Amino acid sequence: MKRRAALLLIAPLSAVLAGCGGASDNAGAPATSPAATASASTPAMPTVQPCDSLKPAALAKVLGYAETVHRGTAEAPSCALTPAVKGGASFNLNYQWWYQGRLDDTLTAMAGNKGALSHISVPGADSASLITQVVKGKAAYVTGFVQNAKLVQMVNGIAEPHDVSTLTAAVTEILTQLSAGAPSA
């Protein structure tokens, strides 16, 4: 229960971003509005299964233990990683097709000067960023974003007790794997 509540602290940014780029965000807009016109001209993009890009053995080397991969179903794809050991980190992965330019610029504008946002280098990615939060004595939360062309993939990670350096390394490894497996769009 604590993990779900904790992910809710980081999830709002992911939710805001998820609402920023798809055709569904203009549902109900009048046909003559600029938003409706832009939506109508946006091509349908394929479904992405972030789990397809993961290499669990490489992640286990970073974490020091294995993670169990949960893929959802064909009708409701999802991607989550849960620890095979008590107290390990958990991860939730998702994606969004992005039509607003560089994601880093948007994240910087949204984050302001709070210091939790860092732009990182991920091989093959157009941009990548981490947002880190530590609740002293409780948990570490790291949300990562990686952009390849119009595809933005996101990972939320939580570790209790907090080990922000290992969690950051694990999220960075996941972003690297997502970027390497990103479809071209």
Domains and CATH numbers, the chain: 2-180 (3.40.1000)
C-beta of residue 78 within 8 angstroms of C-beta of residue 72: yes
User: With bands split at pLDDT 50, 70 and 90, how would you rate the model's confidence at 111?
Assistant: low
Identify the pLDDT of residue 27.
Answer: 36
Residue 101 class from Cβ within 10 Å (0-12 exposed, 13-18 middle, 19+ buried)? exposed
What are the counts of helices (DSSP H) followed by strands (DSSP E) for the chain?
5, 7
Q: What is the mean pLDDT of residues 148-175?
A: 92
Q: Residue with structure tokens 């991607």?
A: 79
Identify the pLDDT of residue 131.
Answer: 92
Residues listed for the chain: 185
What pTM value is reported for the model?
Answer: 0.75
CA distance 1 to 179: 31
Give the pair of three-digit tokens for residue 115. 């210091």
Identify the pLDDT of residue 123.
Answer: 96
Q: What is the mean pLDDT of residues 64-68?
A: 94
User: With bands split at pLDDT 50, 70 and 90, how would you rate the model's confidence at 185?
Assistant: low
